[in-house]
């Protein structure tokens, strides 16, 4: 592991040293460590190859965007940068507490309020996108600004992933996918207002924080339709019913959402196809054939 002693002294004081460290779960992409400092404080460190410094820079900026809404907790970040041949992200270590009885209700309300927050500062000259491209897992995510949500989802989400995955599609599959892209406006609707999205909101990308409530981690932020975040929460089994009930109490879920949900999740399944291989092709095609 790279020597981070100078970094620790810079942020925590000249007399502070790393007293201990251990590997912790950091997902499939990064190495992650809990650092115990000489004054007893704990910090979280992610590492990757130097060439992947963009992972951490955009993660830092995504967390900062969510934090700026003032609606839901995210871990604090001290610095994203490089040291030697490694890139790193130095973050707050969130001590998990038992979930409060109203954990899911509060989580639902907080996400709804995040979706209702003004998102215009992140889409200069348009409504949908972000200030820069970032990552969805290990895959690049295009955030070019568009004035139409449907155009953004077609051009910056589905088309990008489809073109990356062409090798998996036979001729009929390519034709069906292109037909879906050509007729996307038959199925999707423009939102009442743009929302800041976490972008990768499944069960592995929130933790219980020290207060016993949800904290968001590992964002893939953009400004889009709030339904896209909700759809992702349902891709791998869904959150508790109380979460969705509380969300509806703060932010409207329009009629027909259940008919659009799988189309939003097609983006994530295409990304999984590109990252993890052909085992996801059948799931992709089930959705494509439904909507084409």
Residues with a catalytic annotation lie at 200
Q: Please name the residue that has the structure tokens 């955030």.
A: 143
Residue 206 near residue 218 (C-beta atoms within 8 A):
no
Q: How many Å apart are CA 207 and CA 103, to the nearest integer?
A: 11
Q: How many Å apart are CA 4 and CA 45, to the nearest integer?
A: 10
SS (H, E, C) 107-128: HHHHHHHHHHCCCHHHCCCCCE
What long-range pairs does 2-8 form, CB within 8 A, spacing at least 24? 2/47, 2/83, 2/84, 2/85, 2/86, 2/88, 3/83, 3/84, 4/35, 4/45, 4/83, 4/88, 4/90, 7/79, 7/83, 7/88, 7/90, 8/35, 8/37, 8/43
Q: How many Å apart are CA 273 and CA 139, to the nearest integer?
A: 11
């Amino acid at each position: 592991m790279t020597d981070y002693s100078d970094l620790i002294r810079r942020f925590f004081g000249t007399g502070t040293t790393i007293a201990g460290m251990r590997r912790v779960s950091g997902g499939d992409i990064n190495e992650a460590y809990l650092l115990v400092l000489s004054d007893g404080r704990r910090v979280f460190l992610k590492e990757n190859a130097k060439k992947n410094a963009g992972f951490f820079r955009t993660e830092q900026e995504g967390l900062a965007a969510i934090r700026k809404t003032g609606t839901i907790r995210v871990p604090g970040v001290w610095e994203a940068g490089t040291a030697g041949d490694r890139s790193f992200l130095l973050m707050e270590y969130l001590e998990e507490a038992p979930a409060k009885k109203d954990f899911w209700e509060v989580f639902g309300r907080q996400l709804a309020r995040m979706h209702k927050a003004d998102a215009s500062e992140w889409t200069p000259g348009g409504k949908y996108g972000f200030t820069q491209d970032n990552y969805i897992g290990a895959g690049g995510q295009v955030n070019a600004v568009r004035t139409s949500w449907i155009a953004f989802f077609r051009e910056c989400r589905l088309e990008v992933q489809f073109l990356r995955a062409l090798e998996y599609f036979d001729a009929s599959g390519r034709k069906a996918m292109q037909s879906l892209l050509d007729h996307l406006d038959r199925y999707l609707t423009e939102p009442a207002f743009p929302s800041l999205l976490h972008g990768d909101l499944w069960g592995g990308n929130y933790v219980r924080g020290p207060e016993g409530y949800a904290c968001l981690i590992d964002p893939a932020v953009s400004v889009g339709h709030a339904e896209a975040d909700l759809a992702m929460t349902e891709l791998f089994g869904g959150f508790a019913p109380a979460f969705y009930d509380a969300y509806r109490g703060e932010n409207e879920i329009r009629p027909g959402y259940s008919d659009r949900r799988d189309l939003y999740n097609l983006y994530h399944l295409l990304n999984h196809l590109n990252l993890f291989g052909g085992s996801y092709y059948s799931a992709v095609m089930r959705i494509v054939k439904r909507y084409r």
